[in-house]
Amino acid sequence: MATVASGSNEIGFELSRPFTEEVAAVVTLAREAAKLKAKAMLLEHRGLKLLPIPAHVGCTDDVRKVLQLTLRQYGPPGVQLNRM
């Protein structure tokens, strides 16, 4: 399982693509929920497993939410990326 931040913009989306093909699942997050969902649907339509979570990595509560949802769904991540 891999985690990619900024999944709603082009850099985050492009970083997500190879991981969806190489690992069992990708958790992608971004502040803009609608854009994130649209990008996730592009990969899901190709049969790739993705968990999009609207979140801001600068917000402690959002980071906790991402960790809780990720651990509940997949267990601990093997890879974490942030485009910064």
Strand-pair partners of 15: none
The whole-number pLDDT of residue 28 equals 84
For residue 72, the Cα-to-chain-centroid distance in whole angstroms is 15
The whole-number pLDDT of residue 41 equals 86
CA terminus-to-terminus distance, the chain: 20
Number of domains in the chain: 1
The whole-number pLDDT of residue 53 equals 92
The whole-number pLDDT of residue 61 equals 97
CATH of the domain at 65: 3.40.50.720
d(CA 74, CA 46): 20
d(CA 83, CA 28): 12
Q: Please, what are the averages of pLDDT over each run of 10 residues along the chain (84 residues)?
A: 69 69 75 88 77 91 91 76 59
Full residue range of the structural domain in which residue 10 is found: 2-81
